[in-house]
Structures are given as structure tokens and as C-alpha cells.
Chains A and B, each alone.
Chain A
Amino acid sequence: MTALFPEAGGFLPHQHFWTEEGLALERERVFGRCWLYMGVLDASASPAELTADMAGLRFTVRRDTAGLSGVCLDGAQARPLEVDRCGALVFARVAQDGGPTLAEHLHPYAERLATMSVNCVNPEPPVGIPFQANWKALIENTMDDFHGSTVHPETIHPAVHPDWQSHLKTERFGANSDSCWRLADGTAGWWAKLDAKMRLAKFAEEATYRHIFIFPNFYLAGFYGATVIPHRVDPVAPDAAVLRWQLFLPTTQLETPRERAFHRSAAAYLLESATGVINEDRPVCEAVQQGRPGILGNGVYGRRERRILDFHVAILAQLAESPVMEPCG
């Protein structure tokens, strides 16, 4: 049997998905402590600023002549941030003694992320889509590799190779993971045409859809070794989250009005498709939010759902850590 019936201690108790207590503990021990994705700094803006709201914490990262710095506001309390980057991706965490470096936190995907992030150019405006569901329900959904045929029968499902099961490669490393799908021939052909027309900048020659997850709430999606879409799931309330993402369609041809117009229309099409897919995921995440308080059992996890339990175990470990010591004044 490849199904796993989780044992106590191997999964998060259900009430972590809807209680104020669960979110408060996560604010302190997950979002108040872990490395978190902040965004991509606009190269042209100076000084540049990134802000993020997660679990009631307000993060602000600034780049000025002195470099990168930031602050986390927790109510009236301001705590300095440690800011670092992986390629173009900016991460921050509440400054603390000890804990992993950013490279350690991203392990073993730091290099791959940095390579992909080279394509974080030609940005589209950031998008935020609210979900009436706990943030972890969105994370579980994104690490679930086999809901394509039921949830995305006309979008993602036909876009990946019909024999996706043999071609899907999923790596797991602690709570971080990478899954890589071979695109359907038709989809790969569509990208090849787009490439011929606009000379995409590519970080790799791969006719794939790639998805790298970094604990606790970041994932970077990539198509055809060209387009990249960083995603972050922001907790808003025990039963509410916002999925924030930004599309980058990197081209080497943006000189003439004609090239710019073509890029605009291709980006608009991709934005619409990505939004369509997220709007298919939203109802199932919300259905899980509604259903979980009413279940008596602990569910079952199939061969392709182990990453979800990896995530649960990492959250449990993070919640069990003792609080960060306040610096003595």
C-alpha cells in the first residue's frame, strides 16, 4: 500500500487550520522567525521599497545608498530585519541570534532559484487574490500534484504531457521541494512560437512547468525555462489568506512599439490564464476550509502527497521551538 495514514505527531492537528491560537503561535514562531520572501526590487526605482503583511506582522524592506535594510512592525513593537537575497529574490527575517543563513534555509535550491530569478525582468503588476481559507490550505494545495484532472480539466491538465505521471519529477528535501512537469507537445509548441517571435530570455532549455517550494510560504513557478512567477501566501486571519504573485515574461526584444505591443498582449494572455487557474484552486481550498472542522479522521496521503506531510512536520518543529530571546536593553 502506498497510502499513508498519518500518526499523531506526523501531521498538524486540524484546529491549527482555523483557530486564533494557531495563527498567533505561527505569527510568533513561523512568521516572526523564518526567512520570508519579500519580492523583487525594481532596478529602476531608487530608493526602492518592498512591503508585506503576514499574520499581523508588517514587513518593510528598503534599498538605499547604504544597502538593504528593513523593519518588522508587530503592533507597536518594531524589530529590525535581517535582509538577504538569492539572485533577484529578496528575503528577510526578524533579526535573531543563530538560525540558518538564507542559503541554508533555501537548501538545496538556492542555486536553482538564483538561476531562475535572473528572469525576473519585464515585470507585470503584482496580483493578490484573496482566499477564504487558512494559508496552509493553499500551501497544501500547491504541493498536491494530482488534482489537475479534477480541478483544472481544461487548463493545467491539457497543458502538461498526457503521460504526466511518468514524466513528473518531484524532489523533496525537508520541507523544500521541486516538482517538474513535462509540457504537452501542443503547449511546448505554443511556447516555441512565442520564443521565435519575441526571443525569450531563458534560464534553461526545458519544455517544462517547474515549481520550487520554499518553507514556509514561497514558491517559484517557471514555464519553458523562461517565464517565472514568484508566489507567496500571506496569512490574513485563521480562515483568510491572500495569494500574491507576479508574472515576469522576459524578452530580449522590447525596442520597437510593435515588440512592446506583442509583449503586452502575450503577458496579458498569460496573466489571464494564471488567474483562471487560481480561480479554479480557490473553491477547493475554501471547500477544505469549510470541511476540515467537520471531519473525525486524519485523512490519508498518497504517494504524491508526501510533501504535504513534510510541510506539516516542518511547521510542528517550528512551533515547538522556544521563543526568540528579546535582546536585553
Chain B
Amino acid sequence: MTEAMPDTRWFYLCTEDDLAVPNAFVTTRVGAVPLVAQNLKGRVVAFRNVCTHRFAVIHDDPSGCGPLRCPYHGWTFDAEGVPVGLPFNPTDFQLNAEGRRRLALNPASLARCGRLVFVRVATEGPSLEEQLGSGLFARLSALSEDFPRSGEPGETGDGLDDGSGEAWERFEAANLRVALRPGQALRLEALPPPGAAERFARTGNFLPAHTDTERPA
């Protein structure tokens, strides 16, 4: 049932760093619903990534940096999802504050687990911690804090069998496949949610604040 109706499921989207600067955005899709999380003037918010004017997907790219502006007629939305820039409003729409509020983007849900950002289509439902279970939630949160630096795959060991002989521990959380080499590297592989194209798959490699390899031998 949850596979067919993923609206209330949380899906991993990105890390906080991906949304750290104003106008940074990351998108995905869950079932038929495009989603976007974006930093708007320092606030990170999540919406359905669909324009309320005539339904164009707003940000097509899986990630990037730019205003929350629809490519079709240029409507621009604020952190409340309300259209604030409407070309031709005085002649074509004459929308007042109430009319604009009526056309606010449909909200989505956003939750954090440590430095990891998750999104969900439904605005109501079980919390991320409830979905993951408190043990897994706490572990993932702690790991995201312990491995704050993003690194190149080469730095963390290419693939998961890098010939070093050191075993990777693996586990899964939501759409995340986690691989961990304690003290060395954390690898997060996010599968696209159901309905999303392969281009929404994401892989991140993370290093501890200081790795052993950086210390003089």
C-alpha cells in the first residue's frame, strides 16, 4: 500500500549544505508529484514544484541556484509560496493580496535528520523519526554530523570494494543506501522515489572533519 501511495512517505533529498546559500534548490518527484526544496532568503522551504498559474514545473533541474520563478510566464514565488512577481498583473490579472494568497504554491513537508534533508508530498502524516524508527533516526543523524565534509569518490574509496580490505557496513533508510567505514567514510546513495526518473538519483561521499589520511604517517 505504501509503495502504491507514497504521499505520506519521507524521501531523502539532499544535505543541508546543498541548500545553504540563498536561492539554492534541489528537486525530486514522488509518484506524479514534482517537489522542490529551496533556500529563499535564508529559509529552507518545500513545495510542490508546480506553478499555480497554469501548472508548469518550476525548476526542471535536479538541483541548482536561482529564484523560484516559473519558466512559462515568469511568476516568482516567495518563502510562503505566494506569487510576488507577476508580469502583466496590472493588465491581465489584477490580483490583490488575497488573490495572490489563493494562488500560493501547494506546500510539501520537509524534515531534517541531523544534516540530512528529507521531503514528503503530504502536509500531514507520521514524522520522519516515526517512519525511520528512533534508533535508525538517531544513528543517521549522528553519522551526518560525524561526516560533515563532502568528498570525491576517490577520497572515500571508489565503489564499495576498494581493495583496502576494510569492510563497509551497509544499511538502508527510506530511499537511502548507506555505506559506512567507521572513522573513514560515509557514502549515501539515494534512489529516486517511485515515479522519479534516474536523474533524481543522488550519491554523496562524506568524510569526517579530519580523516586519518590527512595526518602525517
Q: Which A residues are closer than 8 A to B by beta carbons?
A: 1-3, 5, 14, 140, 144, 146-147, 149-151, 165, 283-284, 287-288, 290-297, 299-300, 302-305
Contacts and interface: CB of A to CB of B under 8 A. Distances in A.
Contact of B91 (A2, A5, A144, A300): A2
| A interface, over-half SS | helix
B55 interface: yes
A165 B34 CA distance: 34
A296 B48 contact: yes
Interface in B22-58: 29, 32-34, 48-58
B87 A149 contact: yes
In the A-B complex, the 3 residue pairs with the closest CB atoms: A302-B92, A293-B32, A294-B33
Contact of B106 (A165, A283, A293, A295): A295
B106 A150 contact: no
A283 B33 CA distance: 18
Contacts of B95: 1, 3, 300
Interface size class of B (residues with CB under 8 A): 20 to 34
A294 B33 CA distance: 4
B91 A149 contact: no
B94 interface: yes
Interface stretch (B69-77, B145-153, B184-192): B69-77
Contact of A290 (B34, B73, B96, B103): B34
B60 interface: yes
Contacts of A293: 32-33
A298 to B, nearest CB: 9
Nearest to B69: A150
Contact of A287 (B57, B74, B99): B57
B101 interface: no
Interface in B3-33: 29, 32-33
Contacts of B52: 295, 297, 299-300
